[in-house]
């Protein structure tokens, strides 16, 4: 097997499994561990994978975006902490926007007892609030993306533009000082950008692994957010670098 074929297989495995390990890849592809480490270095340089201890995880690109099942398994404890901290930031809000993604769905669970109107593009968030007797849910229309179970396109953005939202909880595929907030899909970026524009208080909820990463489509700048809620895994020094651009960074 030549190196290009082997590296393509490694990327495929990472995207399917969510993570690959050096030792298991060496056995599966019948090559030395050092060969796999070189392959991972090459793939990390091409921004297809991100090196982690003992292996690698896939990076999200214009050609690949992780699905709901993968997101619900990665950084799970951290995402629960982020959701719990974010839910404390309502400060009297009556209308809330919940973005697509697993962390906003966790926030939805924590809002079920509140007196609120919740607008969302996410079927997962709507489901979490379906049986609440105190929350009115407005689900944005549009084309449903099967990978994330969320709606996009002009039906969604047109509906959002007619609203004024007190607080918007948004996720991201990547956040960096250089490129701001990014996501692989232009249709998703359009919905996120519209939500940022119509919200009085946009709040970003993002695991530490999203920091320093960038994807295809920018939907906002760091300065557009009032607050960023992330995990304590983000260093205090790194948090200060983002705070210098405007938002308060809360490390849960």
DSSP annotation string for 8-65: HHHHHHHHHHS-EEHHHHHHHHTS-HHHHHHHHHHHHHTTSEEEETTEEEEPPBTTB-
Cα distances (Å, whole numbers) of residue 149 to 65, 67, 91, 94, 103: 13, 9, 29, 25, 14
Q: If you average pLDDT over residues 122-147, what whole number do you get?
A: 96
More confident site: 215 or 138: 138
In this structure, what DSSP letter does residue 88 have?
Answer: G
**What angle do helix axes 102-111 and 76-86 make, rounded to 10 degrees?**
50
Q: What is the pLDDT of residues 193-214, one digit of tens each?
A: 999 999 999 999 999 989 998 9
> pLDDT at position 62, please?
60
Estimate to the nearest angstrom the gap between the alpha carbon of 53 and the chain centroid.
Answer: 22
One of 3.30.70.1280, 3.40.50.1360, 3.40.710.10, 3.40.50.1000 is the CATH number of 71-251, namely 3.40.50.1360
Q: If you average pLDDT over residues 233-246, what whole number do you get?
A: 97
Q: If you average pLDDT over residues 27-54, what whole number do you get?
A: 91
pLDDT score of 66 more than 80: no
pLDDT score of 61 more than 70: no
- Range 75-102 burial, b when 16+ CB lie within 10 A, else e: beebbbbbbebbbebbeebebbbbbbbb
Q: Where in the chain is the domain with CATH 3.40.50.1360?
A: 71-251
> pLDDT at position 207, please?
94
Q: What is the pLDDT of residues 99-124, one digit of tens each?
A: 999 999 999 999 999 999 999 999 99
pTM: 0.83
Q: φ, ψ for residue 60 (rounded to 5)?
A: -85, 130
User: How many degrees, rounded to 5, is the angle at CA 188 between CA 206 and CA 111?
Assistant: 50
Q: Where in the chain is the domain with CATH 1.10.10.10?
A: 3-58
Q: What is the pLDDT of residues 153-192, one digit of tens each?
A: 999 999 999 999 999 999 999 999 999 999 999 999 999 9
What residues have CB less than 8 Å from 53, skipping those under 6 apart?
Answer: none
Q: H-helix or E-strand containing 155?
A: helix 154-161
What residues have CB less than 8 Å from 215, skipping those under 6 apart?
Answer: 60, 61, 62, 173, 174, 182, 183, 184
Q: How confident is the model at residue 69 (pLDDT cuts 50, 70, 90)?
A: low
Average pLDDT over the chain, rounded to an integer: 93
> pLDDT at position 50, please?
85
Write out the E strands in the chain: 20-21, 49-52, 55-58, 95-98, 116-120, 135-139, 143-145, 150-152, 165-170, 174-176, 180-183, 199-205, 217-220, 227-230, 248-251
One of 3.30.70.980, 3.40.720.10, 1.10.10.10, 3.40.50.620 is the CATH number of 3-58, namely 1.10.10.10
In this structure, what DSSP letter does residue 90 have?
Answer: -
């Amino acid at each position: 097997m030549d190196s290009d074929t082997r590296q393509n297989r490694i990327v495929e495995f990472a995207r399917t499994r969510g993570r690959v390990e050096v030792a298991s890849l060496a056995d599966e592809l019948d090559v030395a561990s050092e060969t796999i480490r070189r392959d991972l270095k090459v793939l990390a340089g091409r921004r297809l994978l991100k090196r982690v201890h003992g292996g690698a995880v896939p990076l999200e690109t214009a050609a690949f975006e992780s699905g709901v099942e993968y997101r619900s398994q990665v950084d799970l404890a951290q995402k629960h902490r982020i959701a719990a901290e974010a839910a404390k930031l309502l400060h009297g809000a009556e209308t809330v926007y919940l973005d697509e993604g697993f962390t906003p769905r966790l926030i939805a669970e924590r809002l079920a007892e509140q007196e609120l109107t919740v607008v969302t593009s996410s079927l997962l968030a709507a489901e979490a609030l379906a049986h609440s007797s105190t929350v009115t849910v407005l689900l944005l229309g549009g084309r449903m993306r099967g990978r994330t179970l969320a709606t996009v396109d002009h039906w969604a953005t047109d509906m959002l533009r007619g609203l004024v939202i007190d607080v918007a909880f948004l996720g991201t595929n990547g956040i960096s000082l250089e490129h701001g907030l990014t996501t692989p899909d232009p249709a998703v970026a359009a919905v996120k950008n519209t939500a940022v524009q119509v919200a009085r208080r946009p709040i970003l909820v993002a695991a530490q692994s999203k920091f320093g990463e960038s994807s295809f489509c920018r939907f906002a700048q760091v300065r557009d957010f009032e607050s960023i809620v992330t995990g304590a895994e983000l260093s205090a020094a790194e948090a200060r670098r983002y705070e210098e651009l405007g938002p308060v960074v809360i490390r849960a």
